[in-house]
């Protein structure tokens, strides 16, 4: 048997950088000839061990973060709030709807820890009204998932302009 380091992903064998043991003929006739692997040297084995330790440490850290991610999300949103400003008509209907992608981008800005996970905003249709809206967020790793519900506050962006306009309108009516 011979030990090799894979230079590329090989189906049913391993991924790039993996150290594997194969029969000499397979290594010589297929892996080495097609530049899919190289014979493992002592430093290759050391690098592989270091990489494996680093990956295990990273997975442990991500799992620890995943265990408390819902608390982190709620804490950050409570501190900063997830508020989106939009123009709306008199009935509170938005001129420009708020969609999943915009909510996800805003959420990742507020809670940057979520960037190491797969985050999906579960929203059947875009938000189109002023007010507070509950939104479900699905946070996933390779083998686990967690659902977090947040409140998105959509507020009118031109409130000051409307107030000035209504005051001017009242003054004009008094002057008549």
Judge if 128 and 95 occupy the same domain. yes
Judge if 110 and 138 occupy the same domain. yes
Q: What is the mean pLDDT of residues 121-149?
A: 87
Confidence (pTM) = 0.57
pLDDT averaged over every residue in the chain: 83
CATH number at residue 79: 3.10.430.100
Position 39 pLDDT exceeds 80? yes
pLDDT of residue 170: 66
**Residue 55 lies inside a defined structural domain of this protein:** yes
Q: What is the mean pLDDT of residues 78-100?
A: 85
Could you tell me the residue range of the domain that residue 90 belongs to? Answer: 66-159
Q: What is the mean pLDDT of residues 70-96?
A: 83
* Per-residue pLDDT tens digits for 6-27: 888 888 888 888 888 999 999 8
pLDDT of residue 79: 78
**Residue 175 lies inside a defined structural domain of this protein:** no
Position 164 pLDDT exceeds 80? no
Q: What is the mean pLDDT of residues 83-87?
A: 86
pLDDT of residue 147: 87
pLDDT of residue 23: 92
**Residue 164 lies inside a defined structural domain of this protein:** no
CATH number at residue 54: 3.40.5.10
Judge if 37 and 72 occupy the same domain. no
3-state secondary structure labels for all residues of the chain: CEEEEECCCECCCECCCCEEEECHHHHHHHHHCCCCEEECCHHHHHHHHHHHHHHHHHHHHHHHHHHCHHHHHHHHHHHHCCEEEECECCCCEEEEEECHHHHHHHHHHHCHHHHHCEEEEECCCCEEECEEEEEEEEEECCCCEEEEEEEEEEEECCHHHHHHHHHHHHHHHHHC
| Number of domains forming the structure of the chain | 2
């Amino acid at each position: 048997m011979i030990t090799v380091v894979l230079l590329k992903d090989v189906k049913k064998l391993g991924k790039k950088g993996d150290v594997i043991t194969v029969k000499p003929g397979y290594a010589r006739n297929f892996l080495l000839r097609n530049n899919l692997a190289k014979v493992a040297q002592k430093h290759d084995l050391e690098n592989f061990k270091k990489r494996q330790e680093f990956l295990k440490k990273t997975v442990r850290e991500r799992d620890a973060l995943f265990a408390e991610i819902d608390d982190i999300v709620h804490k950050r949103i409570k501190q900063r709030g997830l508020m989106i400003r939009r123009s709306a008509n008199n009935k509170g209907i938005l001129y420009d709807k708020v969609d999943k992608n915009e909510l996800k981008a805003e959420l990742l800005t507020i809670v940057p820890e979520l960037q190491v996970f797969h985050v999906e905003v579960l929203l059947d249709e875009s938000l189109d009204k002023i007010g507070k809206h509950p939104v479900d967020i699905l946070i996933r790793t390779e083998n686990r998932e967690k659902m977090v519900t947040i409140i998105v506050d959509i507020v009118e962006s031109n409130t000051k302009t409307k107030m000035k306009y209504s005051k001017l309108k009242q003054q004009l009516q008094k002057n008549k």
